Structure 1
Amino acid sequence: MQKTIELKVKEPFIQDFQKGVPLVSREAITNESALKEEGAIIDLFDSSHNFLGRGYYGRQNKGIGWVLTNKQDEAIDFSFFQRKILKAINKRQGFYQDEETTAFRLFNGEGDGIGGLTIDYFDGYYQINWYSDGIYTFKEQVIQVLDNLGDYKAIYEKKRFDTKGKYMEDDDFVKGERGEFPIIIKENGMRYAVYLNDGAMVGIFLDQREVRKAIRDKYAKGKHVLNTFSYTGAFSIAAALGGADKTTSVDLAKRSKAKTIEQFSVNDIDFEQHDIRVMDVFDYFQYAQRHQLKFDMVVLDPPSFARSKKRTFSTSKDYPKLLMDTISITEKNGVIVASTNNASFGMKKFKGFVEKAFKQMNTGYKILEEYHLPADFQVDRKFQQGNYLKVLFIQVK
């Protein structure tokens, strides 16, 4: 039985919890010192001892816990997790029935009612992502729900928090039959190699599914496409399958080349017809400018924060400059796919970055399309921070 701790909410934050905001921040609580062990059930009250919500204590970069229910008589137990996960699965029946897409997000944190927990489905394999020690204390309940559903090959997990050496499971395997990796998943008919047993990254970011489809179906044909911060080259695959004349993939990570070659190969594409560079993207922009290289399409999807030996990059500060570098190597009437997963600002500010960059470059532009998270990445409308993905297809005039 989880211990329950009463927390007092400061006056300015009471209205947020009454509206249903799920995140519990340090600033909202008067008696944070009452919190000892993560995983404890927390009950939130105002100064008059009116009940505001029940959740759990778990520290992650966003806050110190999540509200799970506004009903004082609702227990956070196996039945609670079962109800939430089954409801999420029912919403995604269309994905289960789609033969052309075999990987999707099954459960999306606070968007599906349990902040700090996500579950991804990869062609019969489940991958559970735990974002705090607190949510990890509910592992048994979550696994039991998946067990009761049955019909899976294996369950893997990623502990996306500092474990301080407490958890030592081998290669993220939990139970079932160990996979033979890579497993090849399908996404709108495209194939991608995925590893659930090889560290934090599995080989593809599922939230960009619709963007990859748009690149393949509407933008790539006959184009030379530059894919920056390319990771395993997923955007390059989409472009190549969409009829791009050539793709150039650039990423600083040494393993990115082998991973990108693998993705081309599982799609029966000759990788030697494409350019794969292990190089700092910022250095590549200088190289391209020196050699007067121009591209018909540039995909710009940097990490929110990155540090190399030479520089530190933050999207909230440096995206306009990155866009300026991109504009300088994009053909007239070419397209920039500008993307960010930084949750600290919204689409309005992101469009402000675009306007600032094009103004500085004295260049016109037109936003052709914009994308947010796909349907399987459910968002809580009362917590817009959870709707983190912002993608703009921008034509350079």
Structure 2
Amino acid sequence: MREIEITGSAASKFEGGYPQISLKDFANETDFTNNGEWVALIKSGHFVASAYLAKEGNGYGWILSRKENQEINENFFTRIFKRAFNQRLTSIAEQTNAYRLFNGQGDGLGGINIDNYGGEIVISWENEGIYQQRNLILPAIAKGLETYQNIYEIKRFEGNSSVKPIFDLAPDAQEFKEIIEDGTTYPVHLNGASKTGLDLIFRDVRKQVKKNSNLKLVLNLLYDQTGVVSASITGGSNQTENVDQSKRAKSDLVQELVANDVEMESQKVRSMDINGFLDYATKHNLHFDLITINLPTFMRSKKGNFNIRKDLTKFLTNVFGLASAQADLFVTTQTNAVNLKDFRNGIQTAITNSKHKFIEKEQFKTPIDFPVDREYLKNSPFKGLWFKLQK
């Protein structure tokens, strides 16, 4: 294992529990390689930690162990994966057959996420370095699983990557898998898909949307991957209006509706510019009893781009202008570009600007199968708030 000298501040940081390496942590920046090699981080001859090197976001590697004599081998990774898998079995597996099996650094190994869709296992490699070690890590994952149908992988570090079955670990690879969550069916796209169609982190949001949709007129904006449309329909909504700028979102949704035996006549599905729809809805005096919106960090639009740091309140003021007198508002995002305090304040100001009074009903946190390493992230990028408007 190659030894790499790090700075004094880096040594203190890693000894204190911080797990990700930055370029400035190296005493000599030319020591960095992007091939996933195991290295020993040293300060003045003193062992600090073992790590692997890889470029991911602003990071340049992840800590593996702070034990000097720890061998980084298949057994090491098997223990890490088994610990996380067993936690899922005791915390969530009885509630649903679709959940996150392994959540990167939150479960002790940055750079890899694993989801279970009814026995179809999807591994997401988040950086090229960890992918280079897949021949060592894949057997550890397979050993850690008590049972599975097929194992797939997707290289998230590549822009146009798609889910593909892994040779010898996917004897009966599927194009999609229908899973049931809270009584709603979701077709999950597998072999050849760039996205599965269902982001598991929205589970608690879907549950409340379903509970509060009965006999309501529902607007779902930027719904792609959230699953809230089917949740609102199976929750008994009178009608839904569903708008996303992604054409794939529409085709995925149509498949969802078919899986839930939903007649398309009572649902409106639009692939169009969001600001264009807001103009249309305002002009035609449309109002909705429940609104969901999943905000991106940045969004291009023919009528003006959206940046969540600068445009949150202005944009949501337009959205909330479509709310009926006692509407439910579900607003989510997955970004660290704004913290929870600013996110909440921006939403509240937008509601006030829209001439509504409100109460906050619930703050959505990451589900139990998405643990967070608090030394690395004080708060999860996922944020969700539910507000109820008042007369």
Distance 1:52 1:363, change over 3 A: farther
Task: Report the Cα offset of residue 33 of structure 1.
Answer: 1.2
Confirm or deny: 8 A CA contact 1:246 1:274 kept in the other structure: yes
Matched, 1:74 2:70: yes
Helix, strand or coil: the match of 2:280? helix
Equivalent residue, structure 2, for 1:4: 2
Task: Report the Cα offset of residue 310 of structure 1.
Answer: 5.5
Confirm or deny: 8 A CA contact 2:174 2:190 kept in the other structure: no
Equivalent residue, structure 1, for 2:80: 84
Helix, strand or coil: the match of 1:358? helix
Equivalent residue, structure 2, for 1:152: 148
Equivalent residue, structure 1, for 2:336: 343
Matched, 1:227 2:224: no
Matched, 1:209 2:207: no
Deviations 1:302-332 (A, max 9, x none): 2223335654333233222221112111112
Confirm or deny: 8 A CA contact 1:55 1:69 kept in the other structure: yes
Helix, strand or coil: the match of 2:325? strand
Q: How far, CA to CA, are the matches of 1:310 and 1:325 in structure 2?
A: 13
Equivalent residue, structure 1, for 2:165: 173
Equivalent residue, structure 2, for 1:265: 258
Task: Report the Cα offset of residue 70 of structure 1.
Answer: 1.7
Query: 1:234-249 residue pairs with structure 2 within 5 A?
Result: 234-249=227-242
Task: Report the Cα offset of residue 15 of structure 1.
Answer: 3.9
Equivalent residue, structure 2, for 1:328: 321
Distance 1:7 1:227, change over 3 A: farther
Q: Percent identity?
A: 29
Q: How far, CA to CA, are the matches of 2:26 and 2:349 in structure 1?
A: 38
Q: How far, CA to CA, are the matches of 1:22 and 1:32 in structure 2?
A: 18
Q: How far, CA to CA, are the matches of 1:343 and 1:80 in structure 2?
A: 31
Root mean square deviation of aligned Cα: 2.3
Task: Report the Cα offset of residue 150 of structure 1.
Answer: 5.9
Task: Report the Cα offset of residue 184 of structure 1.
Answer: 0.3
Helix, strand or coil: the match of 1:24? coil
Aligned residue among 160, 174, 181 for 1:187:
181
Confirm or deny: 8 A CA contact 1:295 1:334 kept in the other structure: yes
Q: How far, CA to CA, are the matches of 2:103 and 2:172 in structure 1?
A: 24
Task: Report the Cα offset of residue 275 of structure 1.
Answer: 1.0
Helix, strand or coil: the match of 1:207? helix
Task: Report the Cα offset of residue 236 of structure 1.
Answer: 1.1
Task: Report the Cα offset of residue 120 of structure 1.
Answer: 0.6
Equivalent residue, structure 2, for 1:38: 35
Task: Report the Cα offset of residue 244 of structure 1.
Answer: 1.1
Confirm or deny: 8 A CA contact 2:151 2:170 kept in the other structure: yes
Greater shift, 219-228 or 353-362, is seen at 353-362
TM-score between the two structures when normalised by the length of structure 2: 0.91
* Partner amino acid, structure 1, of 2:323: T
Kindly tell me the number of residue pairs found equivalent between the two proteins.
387
Equivalent residue, structure 1, for 2:281: 288
Helix, strand or coil: the match of 1:75? coil
Distance 1:61 1:232, change over 3 A: closer
Task: Report the Cα offset of residue 271 of structure 1.
Answer: 2.3
Equivalent residue, structure 1, for 2:18: 21
Equivalent residue, structure 2, for 1:254: 247
Confirm or deny: 8 A CA contact 1:194 1:204 kept in the other structure: yes
Distance 1:392 1:241, change over 3 A: same
Distance 1:395 1:231, change over 3 A: same
Task: Report the Cα offset of residue 361 of structure 1.
Answer: 4.1
Confirm or deny: 8 A CA contact 2:55 2:61 kept in the other structure: yes
* Partner amino acid, structure 1, of 2:41: L
Distance 1:65 1:222, change over 3 A: same
Deviations 1:241-272 (A, max 9, x none): 11111111101122322221110111122122
* Partner amino acid, structure 1, of 2:216: K
Helix, strand or coil: the match of 2:218? strand
Task: Report the Cα offset of residue 32 of structure 1.
Answer: 2.0
Q: How far, CA to CA, are the matches of 1:5 and 1:55 in structure 2?
A: 10
TM-score between the two structures when normalised by the length of structure 1: 0.90
